[in-house]
Amino acid sequence: MSEMATFGAGCFWGIEAAFRRVPGVIDTAVGYSGGHMPNPTYEDVCTDETGHAEVVQVTFDPAKVSYEQLLDVFWQIHDPTQVNRQGPDFGAQYRTAIFFHSPEQEAAANKSKAALEASGKFRRPIATEITPAAPFYRAEEYHQRYLEKRGAASCHF
């Protein structure tokens, strides 16, 4: 039985590539979540007016990888102190966000965020929002596995 996890951590191309390498991840899809416009396009989201974040929806086998392990990957692959930006990308669509799918995921996400804040790893506060999973709108096909299709290992950062 598989479970779903949804993360926003900047440009979804690199985030998807990182999660695809995790053993126990069954599938990934990039898309948009957390906004107010139904069925947004990439162009819509790039206006920074729809409220959506670029996200990766991760389908995983909890017998092979735990949600907590996926959270560890999430924290490692971006700067969670950045507000509405990652690297050279800026706008609300690049915000750091965890969209939980169950009370257990919510509790794990909050515990993980609190532990990271307490660790002193970052000088600035963690800006990651933790909110209930919102409707997920799959991005256009050319965005799916974008880096893999181009033989690239990662984005610009």
Can 155 be counted among the known catalytic residues? no
Between the two ends of the chain, the Cα-to-Cα distance in Å is 34
Neighbouring residues of 156: CB distance < 8 A, sequence distance ≥ 6: 87, 88
Residue 134 half-sphere exposure toward CB, CA atoms < 13 A: 22
Phi, psi of 121 (to 5 degrees): -60, -35
Neighbouring residues of 47: CB distance < 8 A, sequence distance ≥ 6: none
Catalytic residue (one of 3, 5, 9, 11): 11
- Catalytic positions are 11
